[in-house]
Amino acid sequence: MASELTYRGGGASPVAGAGPGAYSPKPSKPLAWLPRAARYAVAEHRPVFALAGMLFAAAVFSIASPSGSSSPATGAAVSSYTTNSHNPLARYSVEPAHRDVPARHFVGGKVPLGLKRKGLRVLVTGGAGFVGSHLVDRLLERGDSVIVVDNLFTGRKDNVVHHFGNPNFEMIRHDVVEPILLEVDQIYHLACPASPVHYKYNPIKTIISFFFFLMTNVVGTLNMLGLAKRINARFLITSTSEVYGDPLQHPQVETYWGNVNPIGVRSCYDEGKRTAETLTMDYHRGANLEVRIARIFNTYGPRMCIDDGRVVSNFVAQALRKEPLTVYGDGKQTRSFQYVSDLVEGLMRLMEGEHVGPFNLGNPGEFTMLELAKVVQDTIDPNAKIEFRENTQDDPHKRKPDITRAKELLGWEPKIPLREGLPLMVTDFRKRIFGDQDVAAATTGGQQG
Ligand SMILES: NC(=O)c1ccc[n+]([C@@H]2O[C@H](COP(=O)([O-])OP(=O)(O)OC[C@H]3O[C@@H](n4cnc5c(N)ncnc54)[C@H](O)[C@@H]3O)[C@@H](O)[C@H]2O)c1
């Protein structure tokens, strides 16, 4: 019996007039040359859905992306700054960062609406010191993971002890003169013994200090730059107003090259920092490293080393201990004093921003040493005496930052005046000098503030 092939289509037989058993070829499929899976996807209209999804995602990201982030588009914005002759800052030599910045860096800490900021991994060398520990507080507060590298030469564990046990915080006791390998996104390089007692006065110590300063500023900075290069991290160096030496220009603008004595007692600090800046710029130009340079002016606040020889800590500690305030020279030399939280804000803005710098970070309010002594007397002890001593070599006569550049490019300026910040520091010094129990007694002992 002939086999019966039954046509199951609802319409007429595909081959007109063909009887049962006649050969009926399958209808040819559209896109038969495509693989079976692709044919199925096309038949189900999946590419249309995929394309619509991609278009939607692209639209969302282009709306939500930060306007100031350092993407290639931002590079255009930066070059318009450098070529804009109407821009009063065009004369400055601020170098815009020329390498594309990874999307994780948000300018000024701003995060696009609706997107949660991803915490960064940040290394703070010198993070157990005065400035470093306040910076660490802020970084942890905004959700970053922080590693502190510090040899505790002038820093103290007490400055960061409140973070012990925080899973986002880690402290490594290490000298930056020795290489170290860590994985981070940003490096704030603060490690450096910064107080005058560590590089002046004692001639024997000076030799040791020379070694420390140069080693830390040169070898330490080289190590950290090398690390930044290796792991592709952004690098910020805390330089100093001391790079201007005893300035012949007042106030000091970043374009001023300074007046530094290369062979004086302060030179190991001043020249060390100048070299550190040079190395930083060489890595930027030669190795395309993302760098930032901050030139910090006198900063004060809680956690300063009590007997570090800096003028504010000296006066405050002396007034609290009922000792005379020692003024070097005639006391007419000027300085400007910024509160530490203002500095930390400036450092973070600089790190997150688009410009290499250098940037002056300081409070332009200018005080003579005698005016500062008066503020300390008013805050702590109106009866505190003043004692004059011979001035030290190369002590700058004037110091006052021009912060136009930081104002314009970082949107930063200090907010806390000396008379507001000083009492905050005094409270901390009282606690540390007299101990917690004795603070109340000391406070009621005829002193105001
Ligand atoms: N405070 C200011 O007024 C001021 C002014 C200008 C510049 N700066 C700069 O800011 C940075 C911080 O200054 P600070 O006032 O907090 O000083 P600080 O002495 O309190 O802090 C420096 C920290 O670096 C650490 N350190 C020093 N040498 C090290 C090394 N070889 N390896 C590892 N850690 C080391 C110290 O132990 C300390 O914790 C310094 O680079 C300083 O030059 C500060």
Question: What residues in the chain have per-residue pLDDT under 70?
Answer: 1-31, 34, 37-38, 40-44, 47, 61-117, 195-211, 393-394, 436-449
Query: 131 CB less than 6 Å from ligand 1?
Result: yes
- Residue position matching structure tokens 């960062």: 97
Name 145's bridge partners: 121
Task: Return the residue whose CA atom lies nearest to atom 18 of ligand 1.
Answer: 129
Dihedral of CA atoms 97, 99, 105, 106 in degrees, nearest 10, equals 60
191 Cα: distance to centroid of ligand 1 (angstroms): 5
Per-residue pLDDT at 27: 55
3-class secondary structure, 400: coil
Question: Is 358 buried (19+), middle (13-18) or exposed (0-12) by CB count in 10 A?
Answer: buried
In 177-224, beta strands by DSSP E: 186-189
Helix axes 311-320, 418-443, angle to 10 degrees: 30
Q: Which structure tokens are listed for 410? A: 């970082």
Residue-level pLDDT at 179: 95
E-strand stretches of 18-134: 121-125
DSSP 8-state class, residue 50: H
Q: Decide: helix, strand or coil at residue 170.
A: strand
Q: Rounded CA gap, 126 and 148, in Å?
A: 7
132 Cβ below 6 A of ligand 1: yes
* pLDDT value, residue 241: 93
pLDDT in tens, 419-439: 999 999 999 999 998 886 554
Residue-wise pLDDT tens digits, 258-301:
998 888 877 878 888 999 999 999 999 999 999 999 999 999 99
Point out the residues that are catalytic. 269
Contact 363 CB / ligand 1 (< 6 Å): no
**Ligand 1 atom at shortest distance from the alpha carbon of 273:** 43
CA of 192 to the centre of ligand 1 (A): 4
What is the spatial distance between Cα 443 and Cα 376, in angstroms, rounded to a whole number? 15
Per DSSP, the three-state class of 189 is: strand
Exposed / middle / buried, residue 7 (Cβ in 10 Å: 0-12, 13-18, 19+): middle
Instruction: Compute the distance from residue 364 Cα to the ligand 1 centre, in Å.
Output: 22
Could you give the angle at the alpha carbon of 363 between the alpha carbons of 296 and 254, nearest 5°? Answer: 50
**pTM, two decimal places:** 0.74
